[in-house]
Structure 1
C-alpha cells in the first residue's frame, strides 16, 4: 500500500509542476491507462488547488489540510485568507510576494526594529501546514542556520504567525538566476567559470556542515551586483538532507520523499525510488548540469522531454542515458542559435566550440558520470580542476580509456554486440582453423600473419571512438571487411579462399543472400584454381555452396530469391 501511494504521489508531484495544458498528456503516459490511478492523482491535484484557494461560506473552526490530507480524508472546510502587502508577521511588514515554492511563499518584507532593513520572509502556504511540510520547512530553516558563507543566503530570524504557521527570515538577495545574469551581461567563459567556482565553494561549505542541497539549479542560485561585482548566492535548501543525524526532530513520511528534485538536474541516484543512498556526490552531478548549461545554454537532458516521457521513462532516462559532451552538443545547434549562444558568451561560434573541447568537456563529463565513484569526490575538487584549467595547468579530469568507453558502448547496445560477438567468434574460429592448417604448409607463417592483420582491422572497425560510432551495424562490418579482402590478400589465394568461406557462411546465417552467394562463389573459384576441382577443400566449399542454394530455393522458390 505504501509503495502504491508513493507511486501516485510521485506522479502528482511531477504533474503539479506542469502547466494545466500539459497535464492531461503527461497523465496519459504516466498512468498508462490505469483509470483508478489517474482518478486518485487528479483528486490530489484538485485538493492541492482547493487548499490554495478560498471556499465560500467557511465553517467555523474548519480544519487546515494539505493536498495529500484533503485527498485521503476528504475534509470539507476552508482556510483563512492569505497574507498580502501591508500585513505584518511579527515585526516584519510584508511589501510584496517575490517567490513561491511547492509549500511556501516568499515575501519581500521590511524589518522596522531593532534596525530598519529589507529582508526575505518565507512562510508556509495556507492549507499546506501538514506534519510533513512543517518538518521539511523546519529542516530548511535548520540547514540555513547551520551555515555561514558569503555565497549562501543567511538566516536572520525565525518564528510563527498568529495562526501558528512557522516562518523564517533571510537576507534579501536582490538578484536573478545565474543563467539569466550571465546571458544578459554577456559574461565570457572565464567570468562564468569564476562565478561557478564560487558556487562550488558554497556547496563545499554546506557539505562540510553535513548538508546536501539536492536541488541545485539556476533558479536556486541568484546573482546580484555588489559595487559592480557579481556575487552568486545559493538559496532554497527546502529539500536539503543531513549527511549525519537529522536536521529536525519532526518525522518526514518517506513516501513523500520518493521523487525529490528537478528532473533535468537530478542525479541518477535521486531517480531511484528509495533515495536512501544519496550522498554529497549527488550535488556534484547537479553542479555538472549547471556548468553544462552555463557553457552551452542547454541542459544535458532536456527538461521538457523528460516530463513528457512519463514518470518511469523519465527515471530510466536519468539513470541510463549518457549525455553528449558540451562541445558536441553545440555542434547540434542550428547556426542562428549557435551564433546567439556564442555572442552571449562574448565570443564567436568556432572559438566557443574550440574552447570547450578538451579540459572543459572532460571536467563536465566527470561530474555527470552515472557511476558516482567516478565523479569528483568533493565540490572543492571540482572548483580546483576549473581553476587548473583557467591557469593552463593539467586537470584531473581525463577522457575515459578506450576500454572503458568500449564497455559502456557494449552495455548500451547489448543486442548488437551479441550479434557482432557471434560473427567475430565465427570468424575467429574459421581463421584459427585456417591458420592451423596452413602451418603444415611451406608458407604457413606468411598466411597466418596476413590473417592476423585482417582480424585486427576488422575488430578495430567496431571502435566506439571511430568515425562510424555505435550506429555501425554487423552488416556494415562484414561488407567493409569483404570489400578489402582482394587487395589485402593479394597473391595469397588459399588464405583468401578460407576467409571468403567463413564470411559467406556468416552472411548466410544472417540471411544476407547476395553477400553469402558472392563470397562462397569467390571461395570456390579460388580453390579450384589453386588446389584443383577434386581437392577435399575445394569439395568442402562446393558442398556449402550447393546446400546454401538449395536452402534458398526451398524457402523462396527457384528464381524468386530476394537480393538484400
Structure 2
C-alpha cells in the first residue's frame, strides 16, 4: 500500500481536473448534512412543476426534509392542482466539485433512493450532467449491474420540469444543450441557480473500495464480482455506450437481495456512440478489426469509433487514452486493472483524499506510476501477473488479465469475448 506521490490522482478530461460525485456512500458530519439539507430546501421549498404546456404548483412543506419535486405524467392540459412532494431528503452521502448526492425516501412507497443534485452553472458542468443523462436514458432495457435512473428533473427559477431525451419543446432543455455545445455560460445566475436532479436506485453497500477492503478475502465473492462487471460492460457496449471512467469509486454495491450486487455508476464522462459520424462528433469510424458472431453487431460498431478526449482517472487509463486516441477497448483495460487489484488487494493511498483505493501500478524507484502510463513509455514492458508469490490466481484468470491489459487495443478481447471467457475461467476456478 503506497502513497501516489508522482501526481495527485484526479479525474481528467481534456487536461482539466474534474471532481465528480461518484455516488458512493461516504460518512459526513450531521452539521454539514443538516446545513446542506436546509440549503436544498430553500431552493425547493415551494417548487412549481411544469410539464411542457402545463404548470403545477406544489404543496409547501414545513419540515426541512423536502425534496419537493413532482410532475404530471401526461401532456394534456389539466386544471392546476396541489400535490405532495414525492421525496424526502435524509442525509448527504457524497460530494464533488459540481454536485451533491443525498440519500432520500420516496414518500408514497417508502423506497430509499439516491438523489444527485448537479448545479449547471458552467458549460463543463452542463456537459457532464447531460452526458450522464443521455447515457442512462439511451438504455431501453435495464441491467441488474448498471445503476438505474428513475427520473431526472430540471429545476430553475422555482420551476421544475421532468427531463426527457430530446425534448425539443422544452426551452430549458434546449438551452442546456446550447450551453454545452457552445461552451459558454448561457443558463443561470448566482441568484437564479439551475440544477439537474437525478433520482436513482440507492446502493447501501458503498463502493467497491469500501466493500472489498472492509472484508476478508473471499475468492467466491471475487469470482461473482468479475462476472458481474464483465456482464455490465458487455451490456453498455452492446448499447453503444463507452463509460470512460471505470474505477472502484464508480462501482456501487446493492445488498437488497441478500447477496452483493455490483452497479456501474457515474456516467458523467461516458460517450454514447450510436449514430455518430466524423462530421458532427469526435468519434470517427475506422476499418478496425471486429468481433465474430451473429449477436455482436453493436459491439463491432462501438469498437470502430475513435474518441479523442483524454478522459478518466490516472490509475485506470489505458495507454492509448493518455495519447488521446482510443476506442471502447479502453474500458476493457480499466476493467483489467480493477479486477487485478481486487483479486490481490493491491492498493495505494490517494495523496489528496488520503483514502485507500484499489489499483495496480508500476514501481519506478521511489515512485509509483499508473500501468497505462508506464506501458505507453515502455510498450515492451512485461506485467508481472500475479504480483504476489503466494497468489491463488488461476492460470486462466492470469492469461485473461494479461490479454485485457495488452498494450495494443486490438490484442484485447472485446466486451462480448470477455464475458464468455470470464464465465469460463471463473467456473473452472
Q: TM-score range by the shorter chain?
A: 0.5 to 0.7
Matches within 5 A, 1:361-510: 361-378=398-415, 380-392=416-428
Q: Which residue of 2 aligns with 1:293?
A: 341
Q: 1:358: Cα distance to partner?
A: 2.2
Kindly indicate whether residue 95 of structure 2 is the aligned counterpart of residue 100 of structure 1.
Answer: yes
Q: 1:303: Cα distance to partner?
A: 10
**Partners of 1:325 and 1:361 within 8 A in 2:** no
Which structure carries more relative contact order (alpha carbon 8 Å, separation 6+)? Answer: 2
Q: Which residue of 1 aligns with 2:331?
A: 283
**Partners of 2:251 and 2:263 within 8 A in 1:** yes
**Structure 2: tracts of 5 or more residues without a match:** 1-11, 21-35, 37-62, 70-84, 159-192, 283-307, 347-358
Q: Which residue of 2 aligns with 1:330?
A: 388
**For the residues of structure 2 that align with 1:367 and 1:134, how far apart are their CA atoms?**
33
Q: 1:88: Cα distance to partner?
A: 2.8
**For the residues of structure 1 that align with 2:363 and 2:104, how far apart are their CA atoms?**
33
Q: 1:369: Cα distance to partner?
A: 0.6
Q: 1:135 to 1:268 in 2, by over 3 A?
A: same
**For the residues of structure 2 that align with 1:304 and 1:239, how far apart are their CA atoms?**
30
Q: 1:121 to 1:318 in 2, by over 3 A?
A: farther
**Partners of 2:361 and 2:368 within 8 A in 1:** no
**For the residues of structure 2 that align with 1:111 and 1:307, how far apart are their CA atoms?**
48
**Partners of 2:234 and 2:419 within 8 A in 1:** no
Q: Which residue of 2 aligns with 1:242?
A: 272
Kindly indicate whether residue 165 of structure 2 is the aligned counterpart of residue 165 of structure 1.
Answer: no
**For the residues of structure 1 that align with 2:105 and 2:385, how far apart are their CA atoms?**
44
**Partners of 1:263 and 1:303 within 8 A in 2:** no
Q: 1:186: Cα distance to partner?
A: 2.4
Q: 1:135 to 1:391 in 2, by over 3 A?
A: closer
Q: Which residue of 2 aligns with 1:262?
A: 313
Instruction: Tell me the SS of whatever aligns to 1:261.
Output: strand
Q: 1:142: Cα distance to partner?
A: 2.0
**For the residues of structure 2 that align with 1:227 and 1:372, how far apart are their CA atoms?**
37
Q: Give the helix-richer structure, 1 or 2.
A: 1
Q: 1:382: Cα distance to partner?
A: 1.7
**Partners of 1:223 and 1:233 within 8 A in 2:** yes
**Partners of 2:230 and 2:422 within 8 A in 1:** no
Kindly indicate whether residue 17 of structure 2 is the aligned counterpart of residue 13 of structure 1.
Answer: yes
**Structure 1: tracts of 5 or more residues without a match:** 1-7, 18-52, 54-83, 332-349, 394-564
Instruction: Tell me the SS of whatever aligns to 2:260.
Output: strand
Q: 1:291: Cα distance to partner?
A: 0.9
Instruction: Tell me the SS of whatever aligns to 2:331.
Output: helix
**For the residues of structure 1 that align with 2:363 and 2:255, how far apart are their CA atoms?**
29
Between Structure 1 and Structure 2, whose CA radius of gyration is higher? Answer: 1
Instruction: Tell me the SS of whatever aligns to 1:165.
Output: strand
Q: Give the strand-richer structure, 1 or 2.
A: 2
Deviations along 1:56-85, one digit per CA (max 9) or x if unpaired, are: xxxxxxxxxxxxxxxxxxxxxxxxxxxx96
Q: 1:207: Cα distance to partner?
A: 0.9
Kindly indicate whether residue 122 of structure 2 is the aligned counterpart of residue 121 of structure 1.
Answer: no
Deviations along 1:461-502, one digit per CA (max 9) or x if unpaired, are: xxxxxxxxxxxxxxxxxxxxxxxxxxxxxxxxxxxxxxxxxx
**For the residues of structure 1 that align with 2:227 and 2:88, how far apart are their CA atoms?**
36
Q: 1:318 to 1:286 in 2, by over 3 A?
A: same
Q: 1:227 to 1:117 in 2, by over 3 A?
A: closer
**Aligned with residue 204 of structure 2, among 174, 188, 191:** 174
**Partners of 2:242 and 2:328 within 8 A in 1:** yes
Q: Which residue of 2 aligns with 1:272?
A: 323
**For the residues of structure 1 that align with 2:341 and 2:413, how far apart are their CA atoms?**
18
Q: Which residue of 1 aligns with 2:351?
A: none
Q: Which residue of 1 aligns with 2:149?
A: 155
Q: 1:280: Cα distance to partner?
A: 1.8
Kindly indicate whether residue 105 of structure 2 is the aligned counterpart of residue 110 of structure 1.
Answer: yes
Q: 1:279: Cα distance to partner?
A: 2.1
**Partners of 1:366 and 1:376 within 8 A in 2:** yes
Deviations along 1:7-40, one digit per CA (max 9) or x if unpaired, are: x9855517x79xxxxxxxxxxxxxxxxxxxxxxx
